[in-house]
Amino acid sequence: MKKEITYNKLVRDNILEIIEKNNQKSNYHIATNEEYKVKLLEKLQEEVQEFILEKNKEELADILEVIDYIISAFELDKKDILETKENKNKKRGGFNKKIILESVFEF
């Protein structure tokens, strides 16, 4: 009996070969640029969720890799992003102090 599992998600470049080596068949297509952007954002959510559950360096590495591909797909400048990050850190601070804001009172 043939069992089909549906994924409909962006996968790593060598996954098709791995599937074939496991004597399995697959259906796939190459994403358009717009679909690729959508699937990268979905992949980011997936990897973040996996890191939340697993909290290991492999999942964190996956997040960083997906972010690099998002930067490229959206034609952003990594240097500019890092400068923006640094400027925000200088203006508003980082997260080193572990501050949890509970509420603000207006007078």
The reply to whether the predicted model has a pTM over 0.85 is: yes
Distance CA 35, CA 66 (A): 15
- Confidence tier at 2 by pLDDT (50, 70, 90): confident
* Residue 100 is assigned to a structural domain of this protein: no
DSSP summary character for residue 82:
H
Q: What is the pLDDT of residues 27-61, one digit of tens each?
A: 999 999 999 999 999 999 999 999 999 999 999 99
* Residue 64 is assigned to a structural domain of this protein: yes
**Full residue range of the structural domain in which residue 83 is found:** 15-92
Q: Total domain count for the chain? A: 1
Task: Calculate helix-pair angle for 57-73, 33-54, nearest 10 degrees.
Answer: 160
- Confidence tier at 86 by pLDDT (50, 70, 90): very high
- Residues written for the chain: 107
